[in-house]
Amino acid sequence: MIQYAVIVALVLCAFAWGIAAGTYKIFPFAQVQALHEAVITSSGIGSDGGYRENPAATQRGLAMADWDTRAEIVMIGDSITEAAPWKDMFPDADILGRGASGDTVSGVEARLDAILRAEPDRAFVLIGTNDLNLGNPVDEVLARYERVIERLQAAEVETTIQTVPPCEPVLDFCTGKRRDAEAALNEGIARLAREQGVRLIDLAADFPSGTEYRADGVHPTVSGYKAWRDVLAPHLAAQPQAEAAE
């Protein structure tokens, strides 16, 4: 009887800890999130030119449009964006998260019509980490990224794009080759910002390094999200370009 009671108590404790981890993003939230993204990213499907997509992630992102929510600002991306507590980070902003864990730039392109149903005036894009995880050619990633920007501009959405923070050495796949690909992707993102006339946030330079900010090497901790908030804040507060030109 005592043994049974102990087992029940342990199960209840584990359940309660799981609820707390999901709610407050404490251990092992980051580790489970990293495992989840690794699993769904590994299911990527190849398409033209060797580019690999993640249809499951894209479909989950598309389903978010069923909420039929409207917002002035939309945050577009993958799990880093999806897990961000946007209302805590910017309580006074009319802001909507449209991140999908495991998604790629191709997935964002496929989701744009659904995202634009929110009728945003401004969009902030952070995408590319899973493209790097899948080994997608940087030039193909950038070609798709350019189409994303063009479609947002065609919808008259003021667009800000962000470079991808470099992976932390705590990850086995954070090799020199991976860091070179990150650097090439970020150079291309900065070039697209110049060529397309959109705002750029160099998150690769501005995001602090260390496991205090990204315990699993990719996904921000609470401290990491606070650091991202501080980088984003002046850009969210900035006067929209259309108004500034008047």
Has residue 39 been placed in a domain? no
Has residue 18 been placed in a domain? no
Backbone angles phi, psi at 238, to 5 degrees: -65, 145
Residue 80's domain spans which residues?
44-239
66-114: pLDDT as tens digits: 788 999 999 999 999 999 999 999 999 999 999 999 999 999 999 999 9
Task: Average the pLDDT over 19-28 and give the result.
Answer: 52
Q: Considering only CA atoms, which of 199, 158, 146 is closest in space to residue 73? A: 158
113-127: pLDDT as tens digits: 999 999 999 999 999
Q: Of the ranges 5-9, 42-46, 57-61, 112-116, which one carries the lowest mean pLDDT score? A: 42-46
Helices (H), the chain: 2-24, 29-42, 55-63, 79-82, 86-89, 105-116, 129-133, 138-154, 176-196, 203-206, 222-237, 241-245
User: Which pair of tokens denotes residue 162?
Assistant: 């962000």
Has residue 21 been placed in a domain? no
Has residue 7 been placed in a domain? no
Q: Rounded to an integer, what distance in angstroms lies between the CA atom of residue 203 and that of residue 213? A: 13
Has residue 12 been placed in a domain? no
Q: Considering only CA atoms, which of 158, 178, 162 is closest in space to residue 238? A: 158
Has residue 51 been placed in a domain? yes
Query: Can you give the pLDDT at residue 59?
Result: 85
Has residue 35 been placed in a domain? no
Number of domains into which the chain is organized: 1
Q: Considering only CA atoms, which of 48, 46, 103 is closest in space to residue 75? A: 103
Give the mean pLDDT of the chain.
84
Which regions of the chain does DSSP assign to beta strands (E)? 45-46, 52-53, 73-77, 95-99, 122-126, 158-162, 199-201
Query: Can you give the pLDDT at residue 1?
Result: 60
Has residue 37 been placed in a domain? no
Q: Rounded to an integer, what distance in angstroms lies between the CA atom of residue 189 and that of residue 105? A: 12
Q: How confident is the model at residue 30 (pLDDT cuts 50, 70, 90)?
A: very low
User: What's the CATH code of the domain at 201?
Assistant: 3.40.50.1110
How long is the chain? Answer: 246
Rg (CA), the chain: 19
Q: Are strands 73-77 and 95-99 parallel, antiparallel or unpaired?
A: parallel
174-220: pLDDT as tens digits: 888 999 999 999 999 999 999 999 999 999 999 999 889 998 888 99
Query: Can you give the pLDDT at residue 220?
Result: 93
